[in-house]
């Protein structure tokens, strides 16, 4: 490694942020690094939801360069450190003000390792829409989330609650091995047989332990699927929610519905049925169509990849900080439905979404992965602009929650960590964190080092 830094004109040097040894960058990183004042800076400073002004964005092009980038981060441990794959973090701070960002977006290869076992290797920088498109010609799919622009790195280290979830489980349930760079720069492969405790931890709390440079997944055989978008007129939100819960619980596990509701009196259900048989699709969707008067409906048989490719990519120009609250419930009881309806009526949230879980998600034992809330049947997300207002409204739901999914929560304070990880899981994670990241290098996303002292809501 040589350390010559970068040739930067003096007018650009004026934009440099304090505390960063720009001229000490190793050559292998200097060529692709971006700093304030660079033409490329506007395109990398912010993420999808969050505005930022990092002092330096390192863009390693290989796992070996990630090792170099982690060494730079260790030398700058006084500064915030963001780790970025696809830039869609909600809990994760993959940008910051004046700190470092390690952006592994260039590690985006998708390759079939063994077709007979449907074993694929995916880089953290790949987007789920690209993964879906690459798997489609084989008749395969890997459930991720509801939005194809999300990156593999952030989602596959946290959980992955997606439209194939009730049939095929979480994204992390398909992981067979990961390679990652730890805080001390060592490169480790973790699987059931190699560093099994780390492999357990990566599947739910990966961001705390290193930077994953590749994921190996077993993917599913998925023929075309049924895809429905149903819009309803809703006069009584609490009754609608309760009925949505009842119908979802009764649905066969091929069907995974999500619900979006606002104050407008309209609700939208987006549901996937993991079957290409129109009779099965219609039969499984019919009970949903009967929940309330339909104002719009569209049902198609389509490749899974077309759902993931539904939305075009937008440039990442997030502003400010999102405010998002996440809760898991084992049942959509009348109390949960009523509290959710009051939350909607409060006007404090502009985005309210229920994702269904259960089915194959619950087949996995609670202690098999660091994501432990296997009994949750719904994930609830509420987003708003003002943390105090959102919390006042959300507090009504808290007594009914069984846990939290960290990817949808922006308050990384100690209470939220207790909700995201049950006590036995948290104790195991903290022991491993102390062993593998004793100086707490990776701390931007639900910091597990004991005990966190401030809330970043």
Ligand X SMILES: Cc1cc2nc3c(=O)[nH]c(=O)nc-3n(C[C@H](O)[C@H](O)[C@H](O)COP(=O)(O)OP(=O)(O)OC[C@H]3O[C@@H](n4cnc5c(N)ncnc54)[C@H](O)[C@@H]3O)c2cc1C
Residues that bind ligand X (CB under 6 A): 47-49, 82-90, 92-94, 104, 124, 145-147, 150-151, 153-155, 157-162, 206-207, 211-212, 407, 444-445
Residue 41 sits at the vertex; the CA angle it makes with 35 and 43, to the nearest 5 degrees, is 150
Distance CA 254, CA 61 (A): 39
Cβ at position 77, least distance to ligand X in Å = 16
Looking at the DSSP bridge assignments, the partners of residue 284 are: none
Cβ at position 335, least distance to ligand X in Å = 25
Among 155, 158, 154, which Cα is nearest to 145's? 155
Indicate the residue among 238 and 426 with the shorter CB distance to ligand X.
Answer: 426
101-121: burial string, b at 16+ Cβ within 10 Å, e else:
bbbbbbbbebeeeeeeebbbb
Tokens of 228: 């429905």
Indicate the residue among 213 and 284 with the shorter CB distance to ligand X.
Answer: 213
Q: Is residue 68 within 8 Å of 26, Cβ to Cβ?
A: yes
Indicate the residue among 340 and 407 with the shorter CB distance to ligand X.
Answer: 407
3-state SS, residue 169: coil
Residue 416: what are its φ and ψ, rounded to 5°?
Answer: -70, -35
Using CA atoms, how far residue 153 sits from 257, 268, 310, in Å, is 24, 29, 21
Cβ at position 256, least distance to ligand X in Å = 10
Indicate the residue among 206 and 403 with the shorter CB distance to ligand X.
Answer: 206
Indicate the residue among 48 and 421 with the shorter CB distance to ligand X.
Answer: 48
Indicate the residue among 159 and 338 with the shorter CB distance to ligand X.
Answer: 159
Cβ at position 23, least distance to ligand X in Å = 27
Indicate the residue among 292 and 358 with the shorter CB distance to ligand X.
Answer: 358
Indicate the residue among 211 and 238 with the shorter CB distance to ligand X.
Answer: 211
Indicate the residue among 44 and 238 with the shorter CB distance to ligand X.
Answer: 44
Q: Is residue 397 within 8 Å of 352, Cβ to Cβ?
A: no
Cβ at position 98, least distance to ligand X in Å = 17
Distance CA 214, CA 119 (A): 13
Cβ at position 451, least distance to ligand X in Å = 19
Using CA atoms, how far residue 57 sits from 20, 34, 61, 201, in Å, is 11, 5, 13, 27
User: Taking every pair of C-alpha atoms in the chain, what is the biggest distance, in angstroms?
Assistant: 68
Q: Is residue 251 within 8 Å of 328, Cβ to Cβ?
A: no
Q: What is the CA radius of gyration of the chain?
A: 22
3-state SS, residue 394: helix
């Amino acid at each position: 490694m040589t350390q010559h830094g970068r040739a930067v004109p003096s007018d650009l040097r004026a934009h440099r942020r304090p505390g960063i040894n720009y001229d000490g960058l190793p050559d292998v990183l200097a060529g692709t690094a971006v700093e304030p004042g660079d033409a490329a800076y506007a395109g990398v400073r912010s993420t999808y939801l969050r505005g930022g002004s990092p002092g330096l964005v390192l863009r390693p092009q290989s796992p070996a360069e990630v090792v170099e980038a982690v060494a730079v981060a260790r030398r700058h441990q006084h500064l915030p450190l963001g780790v970025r794959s696809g830039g869609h973090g909600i809990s994760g701070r993959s940008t910051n003000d004046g700190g470092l960002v390690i952006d592994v977006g260039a590690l985006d290869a998708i390759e079939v390792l063994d077709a007979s076992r449907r074993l694929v290797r995916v880089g953290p920088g790949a987007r789920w829409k690209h993964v879906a498109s690459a798997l489609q010609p084989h008749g395969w799919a890997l459930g991720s989330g509801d939005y194809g622009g999300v990156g593999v790195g952030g989602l596959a280290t946290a959980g992955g609650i997606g439209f194939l979830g009730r049939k095929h489980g979480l994204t992390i349930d398909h992981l067979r091995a990961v390679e990652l760079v730890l805080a001390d720069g060592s490169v480790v492969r973790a699987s059931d047989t190699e560093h099994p405790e780390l492999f357990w931890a990566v599947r739910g709390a990966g961001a705390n332990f290193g930077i994953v440079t590749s994921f190996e997944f077993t993917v599913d055989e998925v023929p075309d699927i049924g895809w429905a978008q149903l819009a309803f007129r809703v006069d009584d939100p609490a009754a609608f929610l309760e009925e949505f819960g009842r119908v979802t619980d009764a649905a066969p596990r091929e069907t995974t519905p999500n619900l979006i509701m606002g104050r407008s009196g309209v609700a939208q259900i987006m549901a996937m049925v993991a079957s290409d048989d129109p009779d099965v699709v219609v039969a499984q969707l019919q009970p949903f169509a009967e929940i309330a008067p339909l104002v719009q409906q569209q049902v198609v048989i389509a490749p899974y990849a077309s759902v993931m490719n539904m939305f075009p990519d937008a440039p990442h120009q997030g502003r400010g900080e999102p405010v998002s609250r996440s809760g898991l419930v084992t049942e959509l009881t009348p109390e949960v439905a009523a509290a959710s309806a009051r939350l909607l009526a409060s006007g404090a949230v502009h985005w309210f979404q229920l994702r269904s879980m259960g089915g194959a998600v619950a087949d996995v034992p609670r202690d098999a992965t660091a994501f432990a809330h296997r009994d949750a049947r719904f994930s609830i997300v509420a987003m708003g602009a003002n943390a105090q207002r959102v919390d006042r409204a959300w507090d009504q739901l808290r007594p009914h929650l069984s846990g939290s999914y960290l990817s949808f929560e922006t308050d990384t304070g100690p209470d939220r960590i207790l909700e995201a990880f049950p006590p036995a899981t948290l104790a195991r994670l903290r022991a491993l964190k102390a062993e593998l990241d004793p100086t707490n290098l990776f701390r931007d996303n639900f910091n597990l080092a004991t005990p966190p002292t401030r809330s970043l809501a």
